[in-house]
Amino acid sequence: MKQIQMQDTYIKKIKNMQKNKKYSILTMGCQLNENDSERISGILEEAGYEKTEDLSCANIIVFNTCCVRENAEDRLFGKLGEVKKYKEKNGCIIAIGGCMMQEKHMQRKIKESYQFVDIIFGPHTLKNFPEDLYKSIIENKKIEDILDIDGEIIEGIPTVREDKIKASVTIMNGCNNFCTYCIVPYVRGRERSRHPQDIYNEVVNLAKQGYKEITLLGQNVNSYLVSEKSKGEDVNFIVKEENGNEYEVNSFATLLRLINKIKGIERIRFISPHPKDFTDDVIDSIRDSKKVCKLIHLPLQSGSTEILKSMNRKYTKEEYLNLVKKIKSKIPEVEFSTDIIVGFPGETEKDFEDTLDVVSKVKYEQIYMFIYSRRVGTKADKMENQIDEDIKHERFERLKKLAENIIEEKNKTYVGKEELVLVEGKSKTNKQMYTGRTQTNKVVNFEGGSKQMIGKVLPMKIISEHMWYLKGKIC
Ligand code: 5AD
Ligand code: SF4
């Protein structure tokens, strides 16, 4: 609390110091990263800055970086070249935050080759951003604010959300799993869960502001409170509800049940769970909680038991398929989405075919496909059997083709059915149409929409299917 009050004083000082200032923020990562960007925006807007998409007229440009895959690095360095010109022209402040700044070799690269950067900070020091910015403005000196240890979760940072219907709420930070390809445990630290009362209060507030869909975020949401439990902490938290009732939360399953009770919220999603922690109580909670969407994101990564072992995923191909079967038996209408990496070190043609086999069996609604990217400091980076780039790309294309065939096939099954669609607003691609999503996250475009419908869940008949959207008719 004290820390936040101190930061508040810096926010006020910045606000009093300058008028008509503008900021731009470039977010380069996952939804957790986007959630951090909403906090950076919150801080800057409280300090009197106004958002602009035009980098050339911003007084401060913030990069919120990611380091999960190499392409995020390429994007950052490309953009830094562009903003250097603005810095030379109007002296704007350049700040770089996010996971990439936790990597020592990246800190070094920025300091040596991009000396015009004013502030570097990490996800653990985001809370100090007002102080860092103030010092950069007043003292005109380079600020480096990176913490190697796991930052504690700080409540009360102001947040500005772009969307008015859907909001993300972080429930935990960090990861204990150390999948051998992944840099996240090194940059985000160990798992730490937020207090359920803080999560509850945040969602209640969002509901009061008119938000309808909540996505609970974490690197490993279904081990919510598990790390605390294993350290012997008492995790039987009593949450005070709006109506004065008390509800005990001691796991992800109980948290889901609590959030499901919040009035005004229509849909609840969560990303990402880990298959190894998908316990029966979580499945039962999803089944029993009406608002929890029956689309489960269940990262596969690879369909080969050998590769899964080498990835340190802690499940086999059969265990994954059995889990899918179990979930389907308890929740017959359930659909799945997933993450898959192709070209992990040592992946043979047979291993890749196992991945295709799982994809054909599960018939995912959505697949996020990634070409394996070497990350300095991870175990997989040191493996000698790296896969040739051409083979990686060829496998990626084959997987993409299969995924598209399945999506097309599944889209057809929607035609003629009635679906509940949460209306989000006007379609970005066709201004005559409004757009929304089914609870399985399919985009539905429809005619005859109006402003009053935004935020409402409306029944629609699906009249046609297209690769990336369905067309609906209001019932
Ligand atoms: N290379 C490619 N994809 C990766 N992911 C994580 N690390 C890597 C990597 N080194 C993918 C995983 C994860 C998603 C968020 O990013 O599929 O689930
Ligand atoms: Fe990375 Fe694995 Fe943790 Fe996900 S579970 S953040 S892939 S280490």
Ligand nearest to the CA of 302: 1
Q: Is the pLDDT of residue 46 over 90?
A: yes
Task: Answer whether 352 contacts ligand 1 (Cβ < 6 A).
Answer: no
Instruction: Tell me how far apart the alpha carbons of residues 434 and 451 are, in angstroms, rounded to a whole number.
Output: 9
Q: What is the pTM of this model?
A: 0.92
Residue 313 located in a structural domain: no
Residue 228: CB atoms within 10 Å: 17
> 155-169, 236-250, 459-473: which has the minimum mean pLDDT?
155-169
Q: For tokens 């990861």, what's the residue?
A: 175
Statement to judge: residues 53 and 83 lie in one domain: yes
Q: Is the pLDDT of residue 271 over 60?
A: yes
pLDDT at residue 188 in the model: 86
Which CATH number covers residue 448?
2.40.50.140
Q: Is the pLDDT of residue 211 over 60?
A: yes
pLDDT at residue 450 in the model: 94
Helix axis angle for 129-139 and 2-17, nearest 10°, is 40
pLDDT at residue 206 in the model: 97
Residue 361 located in a structural domain: no
Residue nearest atom 4 in ligand 2 by C-alpha distance: 219
Which mutation among 179, 341, 359, 393 tests ligand 1's pocket best, with the greatest number of atoms within 8 A of CB?
A: 341
Q: Give the pLDDT band (50/70/90) at residue 61.
A: very high
Q: What number does the ligand 2 atom closest to the CA of 274 have?
A: 5
Residue 302 near residue 457 (C-beta atoms within 8 A) = no
Statement to judge: residues 172 and 132 lie in one domain: no
Q: Is the pLDDT of residue 389 over 60?
A: yes
What's the rounded mean pLDDT across residues 160-166?
A: 90
Buried residues in 74-103 as b, exposed as e (16+ CB within 10 A):
eebeeebeebeebbeeeebbbbbbbbbbbb
Q: Average pLDDT, whole number, for the chain?
A: 94
pLDDT at residue 72 in the model: 84
Q: Is the pLDDT of residue 1 over 80?
A: no
Q: Is the pLDDT of residue 69 over 90?
A: no
Statement to judge: residues 124 and 67 lie in one domain: yes
Query: What residues flank ligand 2, with Cβ below 6 Å?
Result: 175, 177-179, 182, 184-185, 219-220, 274
Residue 297's DSSP bridge partners are 337
Q: Is the pLDDT of residue 153 over 80?
A: no
Instruction: Tell me how far apart the alpha carbons of residues 190 and 432 are, in angstroms, rounded to a whole number.
Output: 48
Residue 342 located in a structural domain: no
Which CATH number covers residue 44?
3.40.50.12160
Residue 197 located in a structural domain: yes
What's the rounded mean pLDDT across residues 208-214?
A: 97
Statement to judge: residues 141 and 232 lie in one domain: no
Statement to judge: residues 128 and 190 lie in one domain: no
> 145-149, 188-192, 399-403: which has the minimum mean pLDDT?
145-149
Interval between CA 91 and ligand 1 midpoint (Å):
37
Which CATH number covers residue 175?
3.30.750.210
pLDDT at residue 4 in the model: 67
Q: Please, which residues have CB within 8 angstroms of residue 388's CB and are 6 or more apart in sequence?
A: none
Interval between CA 175 and ligand 2 midpoint (Å):
6
Instruction: Tell me how far apart the alpha carbons of residues 406 and 421 are, in angstroms, rounded to a whole number.
Output: 22
- Provide the domain limits for residue 20: 2-145
Domain boundary (119, 145, 171) is at: 145
Backbone angles phi, psi at 378, to 5 degrees: -90, 160
- pLDDT (tens digit per residue) in 302-326: 999 999 999 999 999 999 999 999 9
Residue 404 located in a structural domain: no
Task: Answer whether 373 contacts ligand 1 (Cβ < 6 A).
Answer: yes
Interval between CA 178 and ligand 2 midpoint (Å):
6
Q: Is the pLDDT of residue 18 over 80?
A: no
Statement to judge: residues 171 and 110 lie in one domain: no
Instruction: Tell me how far apart the alpha carbons of residues 370 and 456 are, in angstroms, rounded to a whole number.
Output: 34
Q: Structurally, how many domains does the chain consist of?
A: 3
- pLDDT (tens digit per residue) in 365-378: 999 999 999 999 99
Q: Please, which residues have CB within 8 angstroms of residue 83's CB and are 6 or more apart in sequence?
A: 55, 61, 92, 94
What's the rounded mean pLDDT across residues 281-285?
A: 98
Instruction: Tell me how far apart the alpha carbons of residues 151 and 8 are, in angstroms, rounded to a whole number.
Output: 19
